[in-house]
Amino acid sequence: MDLPRHFVIRESSHRVLNPIEPAQLATLGAALRLPVGGTVLDLACGKGELLCTWARDHGITGTGVDIGTAFLADARERAAGLGVADRVAFVHGDAGEYVAAELVDVVACIGATWIGGGTPGTVRLMERSRKPSGMLLVGDVFWRVDPPREAVDALFGDLRGVDCLPLPESVERFHALGYDVVEFVAADERGWDRYVAAGWLSMRRWLDANPDDELAPEIRAELTRSQLHHVRWQRPYLGWGTFALMRR
């Protein structure tokens, strides 16, 4: 069980594997007023930047779960580099099936709501690990403006478990699931650019270094497609943010 190789290549230079920039991730951690010693479970944790930096800055302890072995290796290296390897642990496994052995203060799933078959299912999965007084952090997409049919097909035509709504309807969905939205940090166009465009350089440098690799044609096609996909559809239409939720 692992991530496709092309995904690892594209994301090789990233620390945060979504459009929120490191400064916004720090803003979110400060805004949540996390208690020293608080416990966090991060489902589909990627390279573990949330857990590692919040352990350093706020004294939390936590566990991250992901199927990406290369990403988990980076997460463990990051934890060691920040001096928090004794406070965070990383588990190779399917985040869509993971439930904490002990309930935690915060359960996060930042940008991987497909693990529960969509946002409602992911919220229900996260609830199984949350203390009654705890929070959920859900990173999710939303429509910035009303999209044409072509944008919907281009962005989500091949994806299952993604139900993108306008921002007001996204908040209403959390209300319907029984939650208040108590904090919100949104990516902007700069964040999208930094996330997506960094992958272009990673792919191009990989192609230059590996022209005869069997994956090279696929990476070349992805590099060409991604540039137009981003500027034509993703950047103008798609929003992305992290919602902090508390049970009503």
Q: How far is CA 151 from CA 154, 170, 190, in A?
A: 5, 18, 20
Q: For residue range 99-109, what is the model confidence (pLDDT) as tens digits?
A: 999 999 999 99
Q: For residue range 48-104, what is the model confidence (pLDDT) as tens digits?
A: 999 999 999 999 999 999 999 999 999 999 999 999 999 999 999 999 999 999 999
Q: Shortest CA distance to 46 belongs to which of 17, 79, 6? A: 17
pLDDT score recorded for residue 163: 80
Residue 161 pLDDT more than 70? Answer: no
State phi, psi for 52 to the nearest 5 degrees.
-65, -45
Q: Parse the chain into domains and list their residue ranges.
A: 5-243
pLDDT score recorded for residue 55: 98
Q: How far is CA 44 from CA 48, 49, 171, 182, 224, in A?
A: 9, 12, 22, 22, 27
Q: What share of the chain has pLDDT > 70, as a percent?
A: 98
Q: What is the pTM of this model?
A: 0.94
State phi, psi for 241 to the nearest 5 degrees.
-160, 165
**Does domain 5-243 correspond to CATH entry 3.40.50.300?**
no
Q: Which amino acid is residue 33, in one-letter code?
A: R
